[in-house]
A and B are shown apart, each in its own frame.
Chain A
Amino acid sequence: MIKFVIKRLLTIIPMMLVIIFIVFALVSMSDVNPGRLKLGPEATEEQVYELNESYGLYDPLPVRYGRYVWNMFHGDFGESYYYNEPVMNSIAARWPNTIRLTLLSLGIAMVIGISLGVLSAVKQYSVLDRIASIASMLLSAIPTFCMAAVLVLLFSYKLNLVPASGITMGAKSWILPAVTLGISYSAQFLRFTRSTMLDTTRQDYIRTARAKGVAERTTVWRHAFRNALLPLITISGTTLGTLLGGAVAMEKVFVIPGLGTLVVDALSRNDVPLVLGAISVMAFAFMIIMLVVDLLYAAVDPRIRAKYSSSKRRRLPQKGGHSE
């Protein structure tokens, strides 16, 4: 198992390199002039040129890329073109907020979506099922930022229950952003859980469980849900990716200083180092999450656990129906 983790971590490195290269190449195509930005409009062309050269701006792309990666491995993400501080500082200041928002929302989305999804599948065609289906259709169609705006209108301005923006009021200020994002994405979990549970409950081993006299509730959770978890875990990973996009919107609406707003602002100003740093960090975090998802997979499914373990120790898998 450890071998598997290490192998995966090693494959992340080349993937990160490729991603950084893609983003690097893209961002480098913009015609930003950091020398001019730093020195101001009064400086001469020569001074600007000199400064830019010291940044290595006129070197060919592969050289710049290589230098960037080299520095990155030493923890140096460069300095922002606008804020006179290392990129790492800006990122470090902001990422706890993004993580808090993302995890809270994911939690809410999963709890609501999965439990309603299971109930809808178990009580197929019931009133609950129909209402849940309609609700999830509606939620999928309303953009998250729109929903946020409507909820802010209602709960902040009309009812005055929670702050409309900012994170200065402690836990209260996280309620609206996390709940909005959570409810918006719960629809995805609901639809998927329902679909997977419907498939799982049609499997033969569920019939076996019932034939053993197992109570319906136990059959649903211990037998069906445990097996439905597998595709669910995969979908959690990919939903997290889209949730991140929604989180960026939430950060903008609620004025939360997070990585999302950092990237958007930096992009509008062509602040190359900041953009690169933030996107690299987010991509890396995403890949670690994918690794965790795979590990969760192994934790839940013994067949996958067997695949990941050392091939020498494992018993040879038996093919069905033939010689024993």
Chain B
Amino acid sequence: MKGVKRINNPYSEAWHRLKKNKPAMLSLVVVILLILMALLANVIVDYDVAITQNASLQLARPSAAHWFGCDSMGRDLFARIVHGSRISLLLGFGTTLLTTIVAVTLGTSAAYFGGKFDNLLMRAFDILISIPSVLLALAISAGFGNGVPQLICAIAIGQLASFTRVVRSAVLNLVDQDYIEAERALGLGNARIIFTHIIPNALGTILVQATMQVARNILMGALLSFLGLGAPIPTPEWGEIASEGINYLRYTGHIVIFPTIFISITALSINLLGDGLRDALDPRLKGKV
């Protein structure tokens, strides 16, 4: 029937709103392309090309043979960037997945069960928050050595406190609602209430927060690998490529510029997507932080 508004479930409504948001949809496409690039890195260009050194091609500018030029050791920059996306995106998505699982578990439990557990947790997080995340990541790396899994843990722990807080306050809002009381009165078990009602309703907030987190983690990962942590040489990673390129700025900028472009576009698209998701899920929040 024409003109009649069809109200479907809130998720398909949100999807419709998202579809109308052009920047968000464009960002979604970009993100998908980047993920594909990471997954199909080996198909696009051989890993060997990324690590083969060639003294005669040191600091070579972009050309037909080497689209992005070469770095200080004559390695093809395009190949390094394509393969570098694997670690960078892994850092972003992997850490977020880890943080999300832990944060949702802790946050929901704290908000739902409350009491001593909640207090203790919040106190612990107060302490965690007072250590700037970069320092924490450095300290963790110091203790457990250098490497990608360690880096993932380090970044994840750094972001854990704030994410848990967000989940906790979202769940607190829900727990207050009367229908939860009603369900308890009906004798429904806690687990059932949590899984069928609390989590689905908080899903929107969790999803938006997680998306923003991915962008933040990618940037943090780039920063930490810039500082020397993370994957061992010669594995390429965007931050590490830039770090090396800074030493040669006097001669050429291309070694820094390409990873910058990729990191920025990745972070920007994910942020725009996150904004779009937030607006689609709750239009009242438009424009707010």
A residues adjacent to B (C-beta < 8 A): 15, 18-19, 22-23, 25-30, 124, 137-138, 140-147, 149-150, 152-153, 156-157, 164, 191-192, 194-196, 198-199, 238, 241-242, 244-246, 248-249, 252-253, 263-264, 267-268, 270, 275, 279, 282-283, 286-287, 290
Contacts and interface: CB of A to CB of B under 8 A. Distances in A.
B138 A264 contact: yes
A18 B128 CA distance: 10
Closest 5 CB pairs of A and B: A26-B143, A245-B134, A141-B268, A146-B260, A141-B267
Given A153-B256, A238-B129, 13 more contacts: A30-B145, A140-B271, A141-B264, A143-B226, A145-B246, A146-B242, A147-B260, A149-B253, A149-B256, A192-B289, A241-B129, A279-B135, A286-B130
A29 B253 CA distance: 40
Given A29-B144, A249-B223, A264-B227, A146 B263 contact: yes
B223 A145 contact: yes
Interface in B202-249: 215, 219-220, 222-223, 226-228, 239, 242-243, 245-246, 249
B140 interface: yes
A284 to B, nearest CB: 10
Contacts of A141: 215, 219, 263-265, 267-268, 271
Given A149-B253, A153-B253, A268-B228, A282 B135 contact: yes
Contact of B249 (A27, A153, A194): A153
A139 B261 CA distance: 12
A282 B127 contact: no
A287 B223 contact: no
Contact of B130 (A144, A145, A290): A290
A263 B138 contact: yes
B132 interface: yes
The secondary structure that dominates the B interface is: helix
B226 to A, nearest CB: 5
Contact of A149 (B126, B139, B141, B260): B260
Given A15-B130, A145-B226, A157-B250, A195 B287 contact: yes
Nearest to B145: A30
Nearest to B256: A149
Contacts of B265: 141
Interface of B: 126-127, 129-135, 138-145, 215, 219-220, 222-223, 226-228, 239, 242-243, 245-246, 249-250, 253, 256-257, 259-260, 263-265, 267-268, 271-272, 287-289
Contacts of A143: 219, 222-223, 226, 239, 242, 260, 263-264, 267
Nearest to B287: A198
A263 B155 CA distance: 17
A233 to B, nearest CB: 16
B253 A150 contact: yes
A121 B143 CA distance: 46
Contact of B143 (A29, A192, A246): A29
B246 A149 contact: yes
B85 to A, nearest CB: 15
Contacts of A242: 132-134
7 contacts: A142-B267, A149-B253, A153-B253, A153-B256, A252-B243, A253-B246, A263-B138
A283 B135 contact: yes
B143 A18 contact: no
Contacts of A248: 134, 227
A96 B108 CA distance: 43
